[in-house]
Amino acid sequence: MTMMKAAVFVAPGRIELVDKPIPPVGPNDALVRITTTTICGTDVHILKGEYPVAPGLTIGHEPVGIIEKLGSNVQGYQEGQRVIAGAICPSFNSYASQDGLSSQDGGCTCHGYKPMGGWRFGNTIDGTQAEYVLVPDAQANLAPVPDGLSDEQVLMCPDIMSTGFAGAEAANIKIGDIVAVFAQGPIGLCATAGAKLRGASMIIAIDGVNERLQIARQLGADVTLNFREVDVVDEILKLTGGRGVDAAIEALGTQTTFESALRVLKPGGTLSSLGVYSSDLVIPLGAFHAGLGDNKIVTSLCPGGKERMRRLLNVVASGRVDLGLLVTHEYKLEQIVEAYDLFGHQRDGVLKVAIKPF
Ligand SMILES: [Zn+2]
């Protein structure tokens, strides 16, 4: 068998299933047979042509699968083992990753800066919406799935959970903090779960969809606010006695959510931004206290690597949080165009879709 099915970007508006050669396995690679993958909001931006990738690139960056073939240098794993790998799939060779930032592994040496971080799967190399994916730097990236966990239970680890939890970690939430989480899509829901695990005493979840707010409660939100029904900033200031929240996590990437997050911060509070923005942000003087608020604004991109994945898998295995409930729909890989249509239009209460190649 030399060919496989893969969902590739063709042109704006077109992601199609095509036949592609199964890639050869280099000494540091692993070939993983995908058992479950999923579609991310970023993939929809790629589909619409809002985030450019090379035509013919296989899309997808959230793999759960089985090691089919290991490169000769890759130690400590076996063929046939169930594994995941993080969405970014860092090489750990860049200055940024050597400095502890596994996601900023872009490897650009000329200017030392790449705005899109170091994201590789389905961005700069073939991704996971296929029968097989080649994992580069496999020894740094493969994480075995603990026995007894389903694909759905661990499907959020490579991206959504790592990103959402990173938002709570970057906010440096202390036990007893009050935290607001703006937007309760999959990443915002994971940020809510992360805030709970970090010991927040009150988590205020904000969204415009009541079903999502319901799930936010299941994952740890104490108060939910529908921005279509209330003035969110007023409500949060009331809930905190005018004091503001210790941390506000932004999980959408819009001016409104960013600005609201800034407006509800206490003096000295932290705005932890997870959204991917597609236009310039404006920081109003009032919301910014003219620069005198002692506030911190921090951003995070999905941390990767096998140790990050091991920790996230342990969170799932320990039963601390159940993110399987974010998987609302299942499709075969052959139906991926249909799955994009449902997910892209956010129909039928979809949060995440499980895509099964086999
Ligand atoms: Zn993603």
Walk me through the domains of the chain, giving residue ranges and CATH numbers: 3-155+322-356 (3.90.180.10), 161-299 (3.40.50.720)
Q: Which residues surround ligand 1, an ion (CB under 5 A)?
A: 40, 42, 159
Of the candidates 106, 115, 99, 121, the one whose C-alpha atom is nearest the C-alpha of residue 42 is: 121
Task: Quick: pLDDT tens for 317-333.
Answer: 999 999 999 999 999 99
d(CA 15, CA 45): 11
Dist. CA 42 → ligand 1 center (Å): 5
Q: What percent of the chain has pLDDT over 70?
A: 97
Dist. CA 200 → ligand 1 center (Å): 26
Find how far residue 50's CA is from the centre of its chain: 18
Dist. CA 246 → ligand 1 center (Å): 27
Place of tokens 């619409």: 48
Mean pLDDT across 184-188: 97
Cβ burial of 17 (10 Å; 0-12, 13-18, 19+) is: middle
Task: Quick: pLDDT tens for 190-231.
Answer: 999 999 999 999 999 999 999 999 999 999 999 999 999 999
Question: Which two three-digit tokens encode residue 61?
Answer: 């960056």
> Does the structure show a pLDDT above 70 at 261?
yes
Whole-structure pTM value? 0.95
Dist. CA 38 → ligand 1 center (Å): 9
Q: State residue 113's pLDDT score.
A: 41
Dist. CA 239 → ligand 1 center (Å): 33
